[in-house]
A and B are shown apart, each in its own frame.
Chain A
Amino acid sequence: MAELLQVRNVNKHYGGVCALKNAHFALRTGEVHALIGENGAGKTTLSRIVAGSALADTANIAMDGRPATIASPVDAQRLGIGIIYQELDLFPNLTVGENLVIGNLHFREGRLVSPRRIEAFCRPFLDRVGLACGAGEVVAALSIGQKQLVAIARALSMNARILLMDEPTSSLFDDAVERLFGLIGELKRAGVSVVYISHKMDEIFRICDRATVLRDGETIGTVEIAATNATHANQDIRTRMIRMMVGRDLQMVPPPERRDPGEVLLAVEHLTTDKLRGVSFELRRGEVLGVAGLVGAGRSELGAALFGMDRIRSGAVRAHGSIGLVPEDRRLQGLMMRMSVLENCTIAVLPRMQRLGFIRHQQERRELEPLARRLGLDCDSTARPVNQLSGGNQQKALLARWLLRDPDVLFLDDPTRGIDVGAKQDIYGIVDELAAAGKGVILVSSELPELLRCCHRIMVLSEGRLTAIFDAKEATQENIMAAATTRDRRASPEARF
């Protein structure tokens, strides 16, 4: 098969953080090609560069064998490259039709907008993706699955030959996922090439022809998937891909030995907020409690409720001690990016480092120093602005802020997201230490192996409900996933958020 798109030698830095390092892949006509890798491996950045919504430091891109420059989304549109972002970049207050024609080079309109012309232009594409609603419907009123179909129709109406899809199933339910896979199959038969970004193995084995594995911003290799139907061959490839993704064999470290459960630090009873429904659990001294669940299941919202940031509608949170919260998004919710590492670490404990309102700078440094060593916080000077640090060191700085505060209960919301393997290990070590020191830790993670490695118990959320709590010994990836996808048939998915 001819190679439609060649992407080579892609490098990209965000501040001091290297996101992509000589990444490359090649896409054939009419294939479904997976970009796979752990969180932070650079999949999304690579796809954004191809779609023109991020600029690479360097990149050699060739379309149909001819060198191409993609400096903006319009360039990508001219080349026939469309992208469906994970967060679906639609205008919620415009209609379906307006969303399709806005910025669309293939829709020529006069000075006045005519709803009839928009409808006529959109109809074939809406039919093709199987969207029943009219072009005049406002996007905000649609379900997530329908919005995704609008985004796909938009890309098709721009005459896309290549469709990039970033984690398209992360917020979909089973039936919507099936519909999406059906549509991808049809597009493939019609000669459209799909780049499918995901870290879900099962999906990739179902619909993809080939997969390119990224790790820490580098392309590790490309694997053929399609031909293998035999289960054992399939299993071989799977193991090989996982090894490529994590850079090592997945060794199952046994869950940490559980000491005698201490006193109850945190008792949550029938906690209900806008996003949570009747969640009850206990956390004891010396315990690491994992929280698993799909995106939107209410994991971060649990932290917001415990920390007093979301309004509690009913139920009770009884805490015997202080609670600390390390938020999920360190850039948006965690760090003051223009301030120094030291200032970021001590900001939550300044009252105890002052005399008459004046900060005692020596005490600041004296308290941070041993902690920074223990965390392996790697920077030549803590006076440096925190935005010059790598993701892993930024995460450690954020962790240091709360370790200085020394709360009894620490809620860690996906603390290893987008950081390198070494930093991950350091953070696991800190979690172990905290538990050994008699703290209670709640650890949210999207990576099940991580939960199995760190936690004494794992609770699973689905659509704001607690669907299971497993002891470390009985927890497996399979039964956790099953509980995470359990859903309440009575509640319509549209009504959730």
Chain B
Amino acid sequence: MKTPAADDRTASVLKIALVAATIVIATVFPLLARQQWVVAGILILFNCYLAQCWNLAAGYAGQFSLGHTIFLATGAYASTVLFRDYGISPWIGMWAGALIAAVLGAALSAVAFWYRVRGVFFAVITLSAVEVFRGICSGWEFLGGTSGIFLISANDPADMNFLSRVPYYEIILGMVVLAGLGTLWLERSRFGQYLMALREDEDAAEASGVPTFRCKVMIIAISAAATALAGTFYAQFLLFIVPETLFTFDHVLNMMLGTIVGGSGTVIGPIVGSALFGLFGDVLRALPFVGSREAASLVRVGYGLVLVVLVLRLPRGIVGLWRWRS
């Protein structure tokens, strides 16, 4: 005879098995696939990871940042400049970048929250901050100005520089898995509960003793630091950083699309959403009769339509649909 508890246990064992199998398949995939598919996989995983970072602040805490490219750029510039000027390995530089981004994120959000900037205005202020940082990075010769900084390609694992694409793939896959575990931990921690409480009703949370100001600043700092790690990865993968590709609004759009479509405020939502969007785009691009520019635009028109429909009709995302059914 089955008890509900046993049912729950089977369900969670199944879930863990499914996740483990997915991770194993994802790990061996680049050893068998062609290079172009490995690169496609890297870009998809990169977007998954960014969406996971954004989900921490927007999904769990309801702090709708449009400024996460600042932290992406912080990570990229920090590790690259440290390597260029001091020969410090990006493996170490990435943590310096994360630290700087955390301080930056904490400072920016502390100022904004101190002045009681909320909701839409937080989005507007973060978007404006992007323009300030874009301007500074474009004008500052130390950071390479508008022409950016080039790194030299070499097979040097100690400096996070590989000729093969496979190591990059495994690194970003590892980052996605770790971010997933981190999110899971957050969801179950007291801190995570505080965040969800203040997301639902900030005044009520404050009144029940949640230190909302501190919680909001902390989650932005954590999210910023995690995003900065992706910035270092991005710099080492492309070996070229320039304000135009770092501060582009496209990154923010991808973060939002993946998170919202998959299900914001869930552990696997951002991964599922970003992966689906990425695969959809890659399949469309692989069609022989569409030119690459047309395909890219068409894919994005599709993204936009899906976003509008999903937000209005399925606000809890794909994962929400599955949960609701079970």
A binds B: no
Interface residues of A (CB under 8 A from B): none
